[in-house]
Amino acid sequence: MEWSDVRIFLATVRGGSLGEAARSLGVSHPTVGRRVKALEDEAGQPLFRRTKDGLVLTDAGDAVLALAESMENSALSMERRLAGNHERLEGILRISSADWFAGYVLAPVLAELGRRHPAVVPEVIASYRLLDLSRRDADVAFRIVPFSEPEIVQRRLMTMPYGLYGSAETVCALENDPASVGLILMNTAQAHFPDVAWLLDRFPRSRRAFTSTSRTVQAQMCVRGVGVAVLPRPVGDALAGLQRIDTSNSPPSREVWVGYHQDLRHMDRLRAMLDLAEAMLSDAPMSAR
């Protein structure tokens, strides 16, 4: 069984259809169909059965799945180790972070990385989703929650301060009648964030005016007078048209964590970026190497 066929098998399992597998792998639908049929011919029995909800594994397919995932883990481990042993500072460096962090905090680090090492190409995946570093969805990730995977090397990079912001018109309305000002919040899925509780507790009579998973979008709505928002200070302080509102107690800060797979600890371009991030952003000594 070839690794290329195993990749197609796993993509079909995860996508639930030949079409989804083709899209995820960037190949044609007929190619996926041919390779799945070849695997079934080799196995001498069907690996999938068609249902109204898509393709599901047969008993034979289910038995193959664990072996396929083991082969995938070995292939990914080899890929990570080869990437980690790259001797020259060149190539793509995949970085996962929230859009606001990439645009307002990490951008100077990446610009300096490009100035020092022009053959390194940062590829920022700006998303609030937590990508799988073991599968090389990204080489390194910055996020506001620690990593739980045992194979991830991580450290706390910095403490991110937050502030309460509004437009000039919103600040004026807030002084006259706080209940008249709308609240700009995270979506329901992020309702557990401490800044959401802080804002709701401080303005219990105010209405929810707008929600978004994106701090950048929240900030733009705040500029347009939709309401007040708790924003990371690098975002709020940088935007013309926003005023930081003094409060008796500041919104809760968040810790920013950086992590990468242990197999990549010798990747020179990753180390170069992490050293720059530490020098330009860190508020604590490096503790994980």
Q: Report yes or no on 286 lying in a domain.
A: no
Same domain as 275, residue 138: yes
Is 163 in contact with 235 (CB distance < 8 Å)?
A: no
**pLDDT at position 286, please?**
37
Same domain as 170, residue 138: no
**pLDDT at position 61, please?**
84
Q: Which domain holds residue 166?
A: 162-251
Q: Report yes or no on 289 lying in a domain.
A: no
Give the distance from CA 134 to its chain's centroid. Answer: 14
Query: Domain end: 21, 56, 82, which one?
Result: 82
Q: Report yes or no on 197 lying in a domain.
A: yes
**pLDDT at position 284, please?**
43
Q: Report yes or no on 263 lying in a domain.
A: yes
Same domain as 71, residue 23: yes
Q: Report yes or no on 287 lying in a domain.
A: no
Task: Compute the residue count for the chain.
Answer: 289
State how many domains the chain has: 3
Residue 125, both tokens: 């995946």
Query: Domain end: 82, 108, 130, which one?
Result: 82
Report the Cα–Cα distance between both ends of the chain, in Å, rounded. 38
Give the distance from CA 267 to its chain's centroid. Answer: 20
The reported pTM is: 0.67
**pLDDT at position 24, please?**
86
**pLDDT at position 172, please?**
95
Query: Could you list the mean pLDDT of each consecutive 10-residue stretch along the chain, which spans 289 residues?
Result: 79 89 87 87 87 87 82 68 58 93 96 94 84 78 90 93 97 93 92 93 95 95 97 96 94 95 88 94 53
